[in-house]
Structure 1
Amino acid sequence: MARRKLHLQYILKNSARRATFKKRRANLLKKASELATLCDVDACVVVYGEGESRPEVWPPSATEATRILGRFQAMPETDRCYNMMDMEAFLTQRIAKLKQQLEKARRDNHERETALLLNQVIAGRRPGLVGLSKEELESLGSMVQRRIEDVENAKKLLDEKEESNPALAAALQLPEATLLLEPPVPYTAVTGNMEVDAPELDPRGWLLDVTNKAGGIGGGENGSFGGDLAGASTSGGGFGDMFQLGNTMAAGFPWADHEPFFPPAM
């Protein structure tokens, strides 16, 4: 489980501050002991607690602690103060770091605002760039110029790759759009003229002839429409001639039969 971020600030509550001090001081003395044992170095820790008359010191031996502190005091001032940090130096370093973070956040926000403005201009929601301040116009022009330079650099890089690799250049070339049509399937058309010699028929005369032979529409003994089915199928009247005429119209074709196929012979 990840530890939550610790906010370094003064603890206002007395009981919580004293409990945190005791816990942190014990951890600090433990770390100093581990450092001296594992790395075989001289380490000394002196911690003054709030309201305490005597400090907490490690190593526990006063002679060893005095020796290490005397060695530290004998060092040149430049070496002694190289990594030394008091509360004032700590706060100054902290403030400088926060200022850097604030400046970076401002630059990022300004870049995002300019990019959003550029998208609005491209989408046509800022016709004529009306209502933009001088600073916004300068930022917008600077971003457009950077985008153009990025495109030009990308094109140059691609051209260099194509010159060094001919196979890549050939692969990147797009073929011209051509319409590919399949050739038509060859075939042979067989044509022929079939002539059928048939006399021209007058529909009115044909209808009168059928009517006379059938004895009139609605009357007659054998071939009339009003007669029975047997009479109409067996007589040699108008219906027989009609079927004969239908058969003769197919004369001359391969499927034509020389004999009438309907009605069947009795």
Structure 2
Amino acid sequence: MTRKKVNLEYIISESKRKATYKKRKSCLIKKTNEISTLCGIQACAIVYSDDEPHPEVWPSHFDVQRVLHKFEALPELEKDQKMLDQETFLKKRIIKAREHLMKQRNQNMKKKMDLLMFKCLSSGTIVDNNIDVSCFLWVIDETLKEVELKKTRDQSQSGIHVAENGSKSLSGEKEPVDAHVQLMMPSVDAMLKQDWLMDSVHAVGNEMLHF
């Protein structure tokens, strides 16, 4: 069962806030202990609370001082490289969320334009006059590139098959006279279909330019 996602915002209720503090503090100390033991590293935790006169430390005051002195001895560049306060952490989360949103929007637009393009090809007319022409033409160009790439790949694979069968004939194996022709026919049919698709897409693109 998945946990409910927690909103990172200040808890207004004092009782809930104190309960959350105790729970999270124990989890923080537990995780610090785990990472120190499992990875063999030096780690410490310092937790301040308005309700307590002194901060709580882990594992001990002496060990905390030792880790802090080692940290302070690091060069400034290395020391600041992974440091994050809550504000910086949230800013990075926001940037990542915006990048993900932009990527998802682009993917949705690409799928929408793909669907519209094939509707235009099947009907032979422009089915939506309110589309973004530049975006639609970009999708057409990308589709043409994919068609050309597939055609090149099919041609190279057909050449390999013909060469293999030719070598078998030279080695003395019996093969029908029209075997090479039969091998080439599927590729030719595929190329003809692809040429038809390219011509249709060009026609749709030219119609759209005259809006």
With the length of structure 1 as denominator, give the TM-score of the two structures: 0.56
Q: Deviations over 1:43-72 (max 9, x none)?
A: 111011243331110013x22222222222
Which runs of structure 2 are paired with 1:131-170 in the superposition (5 Å)?
A: 131-132=129-130, 136-166=132-162, 170=180
CA 146–58 in structure 1, closer or farther in 2 if over 3 Å, else same: same
Distance in structure 2 (CA, Å) of the matches to 1:6 and 1:138: 40
Aligned-residue offset at 1:29: 0.8
**More contact order relative to length (CA 8 Å, sep ≥ 6):** 2
**Which runs of no fewer than 5 residues in structure 1 stay unpaired?**
176-266
Aligned-residue offset at 1:117: 2.2
Does the Cα contact within 8 Å between 2:158 and 2:184 map onto a contact in 1? no
Q: What residue identity is the alignment partner of 2:44?
A: C
Aligned-residue offset at 1:128: 5.1
Aligned-residue offset at 1:108: 1.7
With the length of structure 2 as denominator, give the TM-score of the two structures: 0.69
Q: Residue 143 of structure 1 aligns to a residue in which SS?
A: helix
Aligned-residue offset at 1:116: 3.0
Distance in structure 2 (CA, Å) of the matches to 1:38 and 1:111: 46
Distance in structure 2 (CA, Å) of the matches to 1:20 and 1:84: 24
Aligned-residue offset at 1:143: 1.7
Q: Deviations over 1:122-173 (max 9, x none)?
A: 343x84567345xx22222222222222122111111111112215783534
- Tell me which residue corresponds to 2:58: 58
Does the Cα contact within 8 Å between 2:48 and 2:56 map onto a contact in 1? yes
Over 6 Å off, 4+ runs: none
Which runs of structure 2 are paired with 1:9-48 in the superposition (5 Å)?
A: 9-10=8-9, 11-48=11-48
RMSD, aligned α-carbons = 2.6
Aligned-residue offset at 1:85: 0.5
Aligned-residue offset at 1:96: 0.7
Which runs of structure 2 are paired with 1:52-201 in the superposition (5 Å)?
A: 52-60=52-60, 62-124=61-123, 127=125, 131-132=129-130, 136-166=132-162, 170=180, 171-174=182-185
Distance in structure 2 (CA, Å) of the matches to 1:86 and 1:128: 54
- Judging by fraction of residues, say which structure has more helix: 2
Share of identical aligned residues, percent? 32
**Which runs of no fewer than 5 residues in structure 2 stay unpaired?**
166-178, 187-211
Q: Residue 165 of structure 1 aligns to a residue in which SS?
A: helix
Distance in structure 2 (CA, Å) of the matches to 1:63 and 1:106: 53
Select between 152-161 and 32-41 the one with higher mean Cα deviation.
32-41
Larger-gyration structure (1/2) = 1
Distance in structure 1 (CA, Å) of the matches to 2:30 and 2:86: 23
Distance in structure 2 (CA, Å) of the matches to 1:116 and 1:70: 62
CA 144–160 in structure 1, closer or farther in 2 if over 3 Å, else same: same
Aligned-residue offset at 1:174: 4.2
Q: Residue 41 of structure 2 aligns to a residue in which SS?
A: coil
Q: Residue 46 of structure 2 aligns to a residue in which SS?
A: strand
State the aligned residue count: 170
Aligned-residue offset at 1:7: 3.5
Q: Deviations over 1:89-109 (max 9, x none)?
A: 112111111110121122122
